[in-house]
Structure 1
């Protein structure tokens, strides 16, 4: 991610919905050094901030709906949640939840693109989103995995105005030319029951060491460490409850 702060239209926050928040908090504390801080208000529903050196980098929540999978979700910053939710619908997507206010922190909605990849919209008020990007232990890239690449190329630029750098195998998304994420096709090697989804990637200082540490903590490896162009090294993991996320070598963003 070439931006080191929240920009309108770009990713601003990630949340993990978990069937066992306490176990998830322990896993990510050992993996990334995150400290969990749960909102004590009953109306907050167990919402937990995950902090890196005191700075918010992600969140952890219980599962709020029957059938909700344990998974990471990505939020994008907008200036008007209601207007963007309407734009999602006009572009062929769907509003799943909201729009609604979250205390005085901001206004959000959960939406889905036409292929049913779910993501969130966040209109910041008191809370802007992650305070740190691209630093080891923080968000540095987001990736859409979908079976409908042409549809996504139509939908997301229409809703957010993203720039597109499309290659033969991979597409990169950007805001004003600063890339923050990408897109890959879910091919026949991926089981049909795996839905289109957004995946976060977190920066680390040593990809191989993090993969080994994650395995020792009960995680699985979905993609073994591999090198990409530009000195980038990545891996994709599945935490002990099955939530997928990526890690990449810090300093190789974009």
Structure 2
């Protein structure tokens, strides 16, 4: 378990939020699945909820942004000290700014971008809201990974913008690297190779820890969600890729003892 009450180091995934059409339905789904308390937010935030686990912030649920045909989705935010300077680096490194830096009241300053591989992510300069307060615990975020069909370009992009070092974990035709901040693993960057269906878009995936992956999959089905990839075992825990009751994709993993 990891708890934190201050800003996360630069480049670390520090927050995730879900944009959906039906906020009440999403709050109920994740409350049942992950044990979150998700009180509705104020009208000035569009009802944006800060979801809590054991009294600590773990994720956000808010109204979907963009055109009506944009699907519900989870967004991963990377911590930055200066959103404006990072936005300039993103553009210079070949990324595309989708939402220019702007203040979110006194909570912080954010921007939304797409990397050269096409995956959308956010950057977060924290003020009153420092991001995730609980991680690596059932019901909380435990991993974030970037997947695209432009693996080498994305490795170069994220190194240029965030200064990442990498540990190459590639094997058996699958290319994947763990990115590190201050020498510590912070997430993954991988390739959507030929074995992946062509309709899978570039993305950042959020993984939530659960006590029992198979039980979580059964619960998702009961709650009206879907199973995109049935549970499978890895050296890092038993995983599954799921869709919630409005179609937003996420992953769960039952981590082995010790995290």
TM-score, normalisation: structure 1: 0.93
How many Å separate the matches in 1 of 2:11 and 2:198? Answer: 30
Alignment of 1:64 with 2:65, yes or no, is: yes
TM-score, normalisation: structure 2: 0.91
Which of 173, 183, 192 pairs up with 1:177? Answer: 183
Aligned runs of 1:186-225 on 2, under 5 Å?
186-225=192-231
Stretches of structure 2 lacking an aligned partner (at least 5 in a row) = none
- Alignment length (residue pairs): 251
Aligned runs of 1:1-254 on 2, under 5 Å?
5=4, 6-40=8-42, 42-66=43-67, 67-168=69-170, 169=174, 170-230=176-236, 232-251=237-256
Instruction: Compute the displacement of 1:159 (Å).
Output: 0.5
Identify the range of structure 1 (7-16 vs 174-183) with the bigger mean alpha-carbon deviation: 174-183
Identify the range of structure 1 (239-248 vs 2-11) with the bigger mean alpha-carbon deviation: 2-11
Identify the range of structure 1 (45-54 vs 149-158) with the bigger mean alpha-carbon deviation: 45-54
Change (3 A) 1:224 1:193: closer
SS of alignment partner, residue 37 of structure 1: coil
How many Å separate the matches in 2 of 1:250 and 1:191? Answer: 27
* Cα RMSD after superposing both structures: 1.8
- For residues 201-231 of structure 1, what are the alpha-carbon distances to aligned partners after superposition, in whole Å with 9 as ceiling and x for unaligned? 011111111111111112211221111125x
Stretches of structure 1 lacking an aligned partner (at least 5 in a row) = none
Identify the range of structure 1 (136-145 vs 232-241) with the bigger mean alpha-carbon deviation: 232-241
SS of alignment partner, residue 184 of structure 1: strand
Instruction: Compute the displacement of 1:81 (Å).
Output: 0.3
